[in-house]
Structure 1
């Protein structure tokens, strides 16, 4: 009989390299390694050779960067998603795409299971598995870190390093980093290790080598730089007059934001599994795009439409963070978001300077801002009669007067 096939989400690090070998031996299975290229750059070097040398029968390294930008980052930014007021969801939004492609490969290869190296304490285990459940509910998921036999064999990092050395697994893991890192097109996240102490100052000069995407604001250029972003129906389609695809927009904005020290966030957040976690993030291009998009909406989106969309930001952000990208409620909210973006078209001008994004102008052919109506001078259109405000205020004040009167009489 043919061996069982398992598709493993493989990064080439210590954990997934050990897991690849362990799965092959424990399940007597054929392991297909899958790596999604979502912008890790040099981290992908040599991965195919590593996976094959560790025992994989086949390796997929798929360039998903354009799909990531177009079908995941852009729709999420249209929704104004911001988790707990700070986090632009850089890791969270990558997981459903990885799960989607992993399931596709499993189906194409006739695999009976998928596997991942996420720990039992983190959010990623939930995101991968909820993603798979929403796409292929009958596929089996193997999570070694939640299996007692795996944890008994590998109670710590030392045992994993020893296993790798004994089995000729080509990983460089003799010295642990003082933190863990996850990189993609949208951001880099740093957590664990020295960062587990929330009093540790990641922004201190002696820690500047940790950051890979951004200059420290104090080291950024002393001269501001102006940029213009053009939007069409909520999507950025050009930068400084040059038409660009979503991937190109993200790459160029990352360069600009990094140069000017933009997009650093240091926060303690609430994980879905119940604990608080400290994370440090670099999201240079995403921070610029998020700010520009909101600015574009300010003159093109109807007030009540904006109120409805904004009322769903917390819900939408939590769905993405918790791994419910393929859930019907996220899809339903996205449909409303898409409709809200139909007139979000025009140009935003921003000034980038030492970690700051400063508004420097906005215009649109479908602007709802009318200077003739908004002017403090005489209104040439006579669209607004200031005397009408008397009745407007009186009607809105009625319930306040009534409730205050009831409260006074009850004393």
Structure 2
């Protein structure tokens, strides 16, 4: 397992320097870092501490996008609840009440530094649908150009189970890719990634994750705090999403954020991938949610994964789900394991009669518009 060294040329030191000196940073803070011990009210002192650090970066001429959880948690107390609600409708009600309180607290704290904030609420559709994706990017870019601090959160008041991110860790990683960030910082209630449960004796901090192999000996678990929806698994996954875009990630706690941004030996830093995909391929792999599944025969699996060919109807053996043309779908091997994801050119209702047949035969029988791929290779990413 990798470990830091004092040598300034060591990868850990270099990555910490990149994060500290980056011109554009995305910072995500979890609910447990911003709420009181009972989880039902905002901890305004903690919130102001975070704002002080981010405002300092803005005064230095750097840009910050803040992805903040806490809306549902902030609504728990005012609604008279004693814990985070389990049902979606009550979560949405809590978010409706709490989001206003959360943004008002940020507005007041940043205003004390002469800075203005802009609220950006996103659903998964906003980074899944390509047109929404580009609109979200334009909005964030313009806010940054105007010197505004964007505060991003999932739009919990309207998101359904089918279009939710599920946690703000994934959202933060996708936003980091969306805005071309130099680094991603995930602030949680644990100071770093450990190779075992942090509360257990003998567990050691993992200062650097250079490659996915460094995680082989790490026991990752937990479902987050009583007021949050994520856990260490979602944070490691978020670091992977950011890494695929060439973006390093720092995982630490709010109390250590100043040290983390001044190259201090705190938290865990995740190195970006050595090779990155094109942005469209990253979008397909990480920002989309599959609306169905296509099962392939062995020949089609080899064509898609090894020869990077388009997916044709002749190699498809089964169709699952209800999707429209243009929707993202998972592409699976005969046993059902997902091997790729792509944008399908046919609706689920159209495909069954096409399966196992050549595009030439289909064009001859049904018309020239059927002489096309089910998924073109430019719209297909191997996972």
Give the TM-score, by structure 2 length. 0.29
1 or 2, which has the higher helix percentage? 1
- Which structure has the larger Rg over C-alpha atoms? 1
The structure showing larger relative contact order (alpha-carbon pairs under 8 Å, at least 6 residues apart) is 1
